[in-house]
Structures are given as structure tokens and as C-alpha cells.
Amino acid sequence: ISDINSQSIITPTINKHYPLCGSHLQKNLILNSHLKYQGRQQLGLFLKGIGLNIDEALKFWSFQFTKGSNTMTMEKFNKEYKYNIRHQYGLEGARTNYKPWDCATILLKPKPSKGEYHGCPYRDLSLDNLVHNLNEMGINNNQDINGIIEDVGKNDYTIACTKVFELTHKQQLEKSSNQAENLHINHPNLYFDRSRQLEK
Ligand code: SF4
């Protein structure tokens, strides 16, 4: 049985395996009880990729959109957003089995405007905000941070992300039998899968 469901994906146990793009989207969805279209696509397909099934996806999205003091009703959610989620799973329209976006696809989409959270945070966050997020991921060493900022300055966003993966998985990578393997993160779901694999 999969341990990926509408409840578990908001716990640190699962969340700690997300790349920054995924956690940034999910964090802001939870905070705002809403996410605009591109963000819903990027996060929705990422979640599909980690193994969230359609029933759990609908539970997750409807709960987030209707929770707290939000004025969105279940009826309105079903009318305006359910189709969108089912569409991601190939259950509506052309019934395409959409794949989660890789980093190249994410970087080709229009950049997020104010109030949008899709995209690649290494490219799209202000430096202050990026450093704050790195600190939250446990990266505090100035040299490490400067190295990441340098990659960002060269538009090498996936290299910055790979560096973050290596820094946040240092111990597991040292123990891992294929530690010599130089993995370049070019897909958010690769980041997630590799992170979980290292935990085993
Ligand atoms: Fe996400 Fe790719 Fe950017 Fe990493 S490099 S944050 S996986 S889009």
C-alpha cells in the first residue's frame, strides 16, 4: 500500500523529500488556500508523479481550497476545479496521461507573477527569499550559500538544486553504495524519488 495520500503529503515525513519548487508551491497553497492555474498544474502533476492517486488528489485539493475562513464551498470547488484535477490524471477532455514537468519544461513556462508560485525558485525567488529558504532547509554555511548563489548567477538553476540535494543528503550519500554516482537533478520527481531511495 502506498504511503502517499492526502494526509501524508503535508507531513515532514514526506515533505522533506520535496525539491524546493514542490515545497514552495505546497507551502503557499496551504497558506493561501488557493493556487493559480500554472501552480496547480505544476504541483498537481508533481504530486501525481510521487504517487498521489486521483481520489486522494481530489481530497487534498478540495480540502485546501475550502478550509479555514475561505469562502470557497465544496460545490464551487467541484464546479470550478475538479475538472482541472481530473484532467491532470487523463480522466477528462483528450484523456492524455500528462507527465509531471521536468525542470526544462518548468523553466520554459512564463515566470510567476505576483501571487503565483510556479516556476523554479532558484530562478524566481529574490536572493533574500532564496537564502531564507535555504536556511530553512538547514543550509547555513556561508561558503555553501555563496556556491549556490554563484550557480544561480550563471543561470545554472538545476546545478544549484543538485548542490542543495547533495548538501541536504550528505550523510545518506556518504553511506550509500553508489556514492560515486554524480546525479544531476533535472526533474523534481527525480529529486523526490532519489531522496526517498536514500532513506531506505
Ligand atoms: Fe524544481 Fe528543477 Fe528548480 Fe530543482 S531545479 S527547484 S527540481 S524546477
Q: For residue 35, give every residue at least 6 positions away whose Cβ sits within 8 Å of its Cβ, in sequence order, or none.
A: 25, 28, 29, 43, 117
Tens digits of per-residue pLDDT, 29-52?
Answer: 999 999 999 999 999 999 999 999
Among 163, 173, 181, residue whose Cα is nearest residue 199: 173
130 close to ligand 1 (CB < 6 Angstrom): no
Tens digits of per-residue pLDDT, 135-156?
Answer: 999 999 999 999 999 999 999 9
ipTM: 0.99
21 close to ligand 1 (CB < 6 Angstrom): yes
Mutate which of 109, 185, 187 for ligand 1 pocket (most atoms within 8 A of beta carbon): 185
Q: How far is the CA of 22 from the centre of ligand 1 (A)?
A: 8
134 close to ligand 1 (CB < 6 Angstrom): no
Alpha carbon dihedral 79, 23, 193, 12, in 10-degree steps, equals -100
Question: Residue 87, class by beta-carbon neighbours within 10 Å (0-12 exposed, 13-18 middle, 19+ buried)?
Answer: middle
Count of CB atoms within 10 A of residue 175's CB? 9
Q: How far is the CA of 185 from the centre of ligand 1 (A)?
A: 8
DSSP string, 174-194: HHSTTTT------SHHHHHHH
Length of the chain: 200
Torsional sign, CA 171, 173, 176, 177? negative
Q: Which is the closest atom of ligand 1 to the Cα of 24? A: 6
Res 5 pLDDT > 60: yes
Res 182 pLDDT > 90: no
C-alpha cell at 48: 501525481
Res 179 pLDDT > 70: no
117 close to ligand 1 (CB < 6 Angstrom): no
Q: How far is the CA of 92 from the centre of ligand 1 (A)?
A: 28
42 close to ligand 1 (CB < 6 Angstrom): no
Look at residue 143 in the predicted model and tell me its pLDDT.
Answer: 97
18 close to ligand 1 (CB < 6 Angstrom): no
C-alpha cell at 125: 525567488
Tens digits of per-residue pLDDT, 57-85?
Answer: 999 999 999 998 778 899 999 999 999 99
Rounded to a whole number of angstroms, the CA Rg of the chain reads 17
- Looking up cell 503529503, which residue turns up? 9
161 close to ligand 1 (CB < 6 Angstrom): yes
Distances (CA, A) of 86 to 48, 60, 79, 143, 166: 11, 13, 12, 45, 35
Distance CA 48, CA 168 (A): 24
122 close to ligand 1 (CB < 6 Angstrom): yes
